[in-house]
Structure 1
Amino acid sequence: MTNKPTMGSKRVTSQDVAKHAGVSRSVVSAVLNGTRGIGVSAQTREIVLASIAELNYQVDAQARSMKTGRSMTIAAFGDTAHPLFIRLLEGMQRAGEREGYHLLLCSPKSGENREEDREGRHKLLDLYRQRKIDGIVTLDDTSYADSDWADEVRRIGVPYVSVEGYAEENSISSVHADYRGSMETALDYLTERYPELTQAQKIAPEYAEIESAALGGKVNWAEQQRKTGYLDWCSRRNLKPHATNLLQQNGHVNWDNWLQVRAEQHARPVLVNWSSAVLDLYRIARRFALEIGEDLPVMAADNTIHGDRLSVPTLSCMEIPYADMGRAAVEILLRRIEGETDRPAKMWLPAILKPGESA
Structure 2
Amino acid sequence: MNNKSGSPKRATSQDVAKLAGVSRSVVSAVLNGTPGIGVSEQTRENVLAAIRELDYHVDARARGMKTGRSMTLAAFGDTSHPLFMRLLEGMQRASGAEGYHLLLTSPGRGKAGEARAELLELYQQRRIDGIVTLDDTSYADEKWAQRVQANGVPYVSVEGYAEFAGVCSVHADYRKSIETALDYLWEKCSDKKFVPEYAEVFSLSHEGKVNWAEQQRRKGYEEWCREHKLEPKISRQLQQAGRVDWQDWCRQRAESKQDSPPVLLNWSSAAPDLYRSAYRFGLSIGTDLCIMAADNTIQGDLLSMPTLSCVEIPYAEMGEAAVRSVLLQIRGEAEKPSKLWLPAILKPGESA
TM-score of the pair, normalised by structure 1: 0.86
Asked if the contact 1:17/1:51 (under 8 Å) is kept, the reply is no
- Pair 1:291-2:290 in alignment: no
Contact 1:74 1:135 in 2 (8 A): yes
Alignment of 1:191-210 (within 5 A): 191-194=186-189, 197-198=190-191, 200-201=192-193, 203-210=194-201
CA distance in 2, matches of 1:162, 1:92: 13
Name 2:3's counterpart in structure 1. Answer: none
Residue 239 (structure 2) aligns with: 248
The reply on whether 1:77 has 2:76 as its aligned counterpart is yes
Superposed displacement of residue 36, structure 1? 2.6
CA distance 1:261–1:159, shift in 2 (3 Å) = same
Structure with higher Rg: it is 2
Q: CA deviation at 1:37?
A: 2.5
Report the Cα offset of residue 233 of structure 1: 1.4
Worse-matched range after superposition: 56-65 or 212-221:
56-65
Give the Cα–Cα distance (whole angstroms) in 1 for the partners of residues 69 and 268 of structure 2: 42
In structure 1, C-alpha distance between the alignment counterparts of 2:47 and 2:297, rounded to whole Å: 35
Residue 183 and residue 52 in structure 1: after superposition, are their counterparts in 2 closer, same or farther (change >3 A)? Answer: farther
Contact 1:75 1:104 survives alignment (8 Å): yes
What SS does structure 1 have at the residue aligned with 2:163?
coil
Q: Report the counterpart of residue 35 of structure 2 in structure 1.
A: 36
String of CA shifts for 1:125-155, please: whole Å, max 9, x gaps.
Answer: 1111111111111111111111111111111
Inter-partner Cα distance in structure 1 for 2:295 and 2:315: 11
**Which of 291, 309, 312 is the equivalent residue of 1:316?**
309
C-alpha separation between the residues in 2 aligned to 1:68 and 1:277?
A: 49
Contact kept, 8 Å, 1:209 with 1:244, in 2: the verdict is yes
CA-CA distance at 1:66 after TM superposition: 2.6
Asked whether the 8 Å contact 1:271–1:299 carries over to 2, the reply is yes
Matched with 1:139 is 134
More off after superposition, 48-57 vs 144-153? 48-57
Match of 1:61 in 2: 60
Partners in 2 of 1:128 and 1:222 — Cα distance? 30
- 3-state DSSP class of the match of 1:233? helix
2: distance between equivalents of 1:46 and 1:232? 53
Q: CA deviation at 1:346?
A: 1.1
2:294 match: secondary structure: strand
CA-CA distance at 1:237 after TM superposition: 2.2
State the one-letter code of the partner of 2:232: P
CA-based RMSD of the aligned residues comes to 2.6
Deviation at 1:20, TM superposition (A): 8.4
Structure 1 gap ranges (5+): 1-8
In structure 2, how many angstroms separate the alpha carbons of the residues matched to 1:48 and 1:108?
Answer: 45
Measured in 2, the distance between the counterparts of 1:119 and 1:204 equals 48
Task: Say which SS state the counterpart of residue 210 (structure 1) adopts.
Answer: strand
Deviation at 1:53, TM superposition (A): 9.8
1:73-112 equivalences under 5 Å are 73-110=72-109
Q: Report the AA paired with residue 269 of structure 1.
A: P
Stretch deviating more after TM superposition (19-28 or 235-244): 19-28
Cα distance, 1:227–1:20 mapped onto 2, change above 3 Å: farther
Would the aligned equivalents of 1:61 and 1:100 in 2 still touch at CA under 8 Å?
no
Letter of the 1:141 partner, please give it.
D
**Which residue is 2:324 aligned to?**
331
Q: Secondary structure of 2:223's match? A: helix
Instruction: Choose the corresponding residue for 1:182, options 177, 186, 211.
Output: 177
Distance 2:19 2:309 in 1: 50
Letter of the 1:125 counterpart? L
Counterpart Cα distance in 2 of 1:245 and 1:21: 67
Q: Is the 8 A contact 1:91 1:326 kept in 2?
A: yes
The residue matched to 2:175 in structure 1 has which SS? helix
Q: Is the 8 A contact 1:275 1:307 kept in 2?
A: yes
Query: Which residue identity lines up with residue 226 of structure 1 in the other structure?
Result: R
Distance 1:120 1:268, change over 3 A: same
Alignment of 1:208-247 (within 5 A): 208-247=199-238
CA change 1:158–1:259 in 2 (3 A) is: same
Q: Distance in 2 between matches of 1:107 and 1:278?
A: 29
For 1:86 and 1:307, locate their aligned partners in 2 and report how far apart those are by CA, in whole Å. Answer: 16
- Does the 8 A contact of 1:21 with 1:47 survive in 2? no
Deviates more, 1:348-357 or 1:51-60: 51-60
1:260–1:57 distance in 2 versus 1, CA, 3 Å:
farther
Q: Aligned residues: percent identity?
A: 64
The alpha-carbon deviation at position 275 of structure 1 amounts to 0.5
Match in the other structure for 2:5: none
Rounded Cα–Cα distance in structure 2 between residues aligned with 1:191 and 1:32:
52
- Aligned equivalents of 2:118, 2:31: Cα separation in 1: 31
1:168 aligns with 2:163: yes
**Cα separation, 1, equivalents of 2:133 and 2:56:** 31
**Counterpart amino acid of residue 208 in structure 2:** G
**1:176 match: secondary structure:** strand
